[in-house]
Structure 1
Amino acid sequence: MPTAAKLVAGVIFAVLAFFAAQAYAAQLPATSSPAWMREIAAVTGAVLGWSTLGAKGRHQNFGKAAGAGLRTSLFIVIWALLFLAIYLMLKRSISGKYHGLVEALLSVFDIFYAQGRLLVQPDVLLILLAGGVLGGLATEWAARRFT
């Protein structure tokens, strides 16, 4: 059932994921920036904001809401990196870089780790941390205000 908290969480975390992906893509060389990365991150943020943070409803206080927002940011990072790793693996497998299915599947974890290391930049982390806290607080406010 749609609620105001789910809507606010979905919208805020979609925007948060888009801008975090934008800051992440700005550090990559122009030739290695994956297509659709920002859009995939935004959809991931909307779905996870709606389903993980918005579905919880009201928390006991704003501190727990901020923590739930940070947890949602972490989930977005994990899922977006996994989708990016799978996308890059498929792109490489079409080019014939792998000799078998197992090698291609194992490369997903290598790509996940390599892309995750690139994610640890101050601007990206600031967007994710501050946005997660503010998103959790805004979702809690919407849950209290419109419920």
Structure 2
Amino acid sequence: MPDAAKLVAGIGLGLLAFVVSGMIMPLFEEGTNFGWFTQVNVLVGILTGWFVVGGRAGRGIVSAVNVGLTGPVVMVFWALFIQSCNEMVRIAMKNRYDGAFEALVAVFEIGAEWALLMTTIPVWATLLAGGVVVGLLTEYAWRTWR
């Protein structure tokens, strides 16, 4: 059921995904074509905020902080998975894999490589601090606009 807490959480994590996507892009090789990178990450952030963070609103401040820390981690997991699948398909279209299993394994290899690439203190500090702010704003929205 839509409510203000889910809306605030979705907008908050979507905005956080936008900011962090901008922080991650310079970490890749120069000349990388990002295509729909930011838009897909923002959509993943909105959906994660709506379902994960917004769905757990109304349980108190401690729970809001905990969910605020969990939300960005879930968002990063799904964004990495979706972006890795997209990259695997792009590489597969060039006939670089010998079979389906090799392509499936490549999804996890690409995801692990990109996870290491984005593992910097500024990126994770932004994710976790932003997540706590989104969690607290979601709790406030739940208490204010039931």
Output the TM-score relative to the length of structure 2.
0.96
Length, aligned pairs only: 146
- Whole-angstrom distance in 2 between the partners of 1:129 and 1:80: 16
- Is there any run of 5+ residues in structure 1 with no aligned partner, and where? none
Q: CA deviation at 1:113?
A: 0.4
Task: Map Cα deviations across residues 109-131 of structure 1 (whole Å, 9 max, x no partner).
Answer: 10010000011112211210110
1:28 alignment partner in structure 2: 28
1:15 alignment partner in structure 2: 15
Is the contact between residue 69 and residue 128 of structure 2 (CA under 8 Å) also seen in structure 1?
A: yes
Q: CA deviation at 1:33?
A: 4.5
Residue 50 of structure 2 corresponds to residue 50 of structure 1: yes
2:102 alignment partner in structure 1: 103
Is the contact between residue 25 and residue 33 of structure 1 (CA under 8 Å) also seen in structure 2?
A: no
Q: CA deviation at 1:66?
A: 1.1
- Whole-angstrom distance in 1 between the partners of 2:19 and 2:134: 14
Is the contact between residue 53 and residue 68 of structure 1 (CA under 8 Å) also seen in structure 2?
A: yes
* Coordinate RMSD, CA, aligned: 1.0
Q: CA deviation at 1:138?
A: 0.3
- Is there any run of 5+ residues in structure 2 with no aligned partner, and where? none
Would you identify which runs of 4 or more consecutive aligned residues in structure 1 move more than 2 Å?
30-34
